[in-house]
């Protein structure tokens, strides 16, 4: 009988010692199932050709700066025709700025854009034309980044490239 009592006490002691491990492992899973999911972050960006100002208050006269075109901001809340937004992130020496933007100036999106900063296509056209000829006894000509004075010779401009 003493052996049976000792065995039961040993089993109960083992269960008591092991039970906190099981409850700790299952508690987060159970709590996660009942807890509401966090709201998804909302973002908005400034379209090309549009001007959106970040204001300190929901008032256009309190404008702090112009948000660059195609830049994405995080929407923190809404107040009538204004969004409360966060511009940039706390990163190193940089600090996020919170303020207000007019809803009409921003386009909502579900996730930040791939290019967070200004992404604007630029068309560059190169033309090679004869430079205009200056009048006078001395002619000035910027050539190779250096201004050279050349003497007037029979109404022709003497231009020699710099030796590099």
Mean pLDDT value across residues 76-99 = 91
Tell me, yes or no, whether 118 lies in a domain: no
Query: If you count them, how many residues does the chain have?
Result: 164
Strand partners, 78: 83
* Most confidently modeled range among 1-5, 55-59, 121-125: 55-59
Tell me, yes or no, whether 69 lies in a domain: yes
Are 62 and 95 contained in the same domain? yes
Confidence of residue 82 (pLDDT cuts 50, 70, 90): very high
- What is the C-alpha separation between 7 and 158, in angstroms, rounded? 113
Tell me, yes or no, whether 64 lies in a domain: yes
- What is the C-alpha separation between 152 and 60, in angstroms, rounded? 60
Is residue 141 exposed (0-12), middle (13-18) or buried (19+ Cβ within 10 Å)? middle
Are 46 and 105 contained in the same domain? yes
Tell me, yes or no, whether 71 lies in a domain: yes
Tell me, yes or no, whether 117 lies in a domain: no
Are 49 and 91 contained in the same domain? yes
pLDDT value of residue 142: 47
Tell me, yes or no, whether 120 lies in a domain: no
Are 24 and 49 contained in the same domain? no
Pairs from 61-66 (Cβ < 8 Å, separation ≥ 24): 64/97, 64/99
Are 27 and 60 contained in the same domain? no
Tell me, yes or no, whether 16 lies in a domain: yes
Angle at CA 64, nearest 5°, toward 59 and 69?
100
pLDDT in tens, 54-67: 999 999 999 999 99
pLDDT value of residue 20: 65
pLDDT in tens, 12-24: 777 777 766 555 5
Tell me the residue range of the domain where 15 lies.
1-37
Domain with residue 63: its CATH number is: 2.30.30.40
Are 19 and 46 contained in the same domain? no
Tell me, yes or no, whether 53 lies in a domain: yes
Are 49 and 101 contained in the same domain? yes
- What is the C-alpha separation between 98 and 101, in angstroms, rounded? 10
């Amino acid at each position: 009988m003493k052996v049976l009592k000792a065995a039961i006490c040993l089993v109960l002691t083992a269960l008591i010692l092991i039970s906190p491990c099981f409850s700790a492992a299952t508690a987060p899973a159970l709590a996660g199932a009942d807890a509401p999911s966090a709201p998804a972050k909302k973002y908005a960006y400034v379209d090309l050709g549009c001007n959106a100002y970040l204001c300190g208050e929901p008032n256009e006269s309190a404008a702090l700066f112009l948000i660059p075109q195609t830049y994405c901001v995080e929407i923190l809340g809404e107040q009538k025709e204004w969004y409360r937004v966060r511009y940039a992130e706390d990163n190193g020496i940089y600090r996020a700025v919170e303020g207000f933007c007019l809803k009409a100036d921003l386009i909502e999106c579900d996730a930040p854009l791939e290019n967070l900063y200004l992404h604007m296509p630029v068309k560059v056209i190169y033309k090679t034309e004869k430079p205009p000829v200056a009048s006078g006894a001395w002619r000035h000509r910027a050539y190779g980044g250096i201004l050279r004075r050349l003497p007037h010779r029979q109404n022709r401009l003497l231009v020699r490239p710099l030796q590099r």
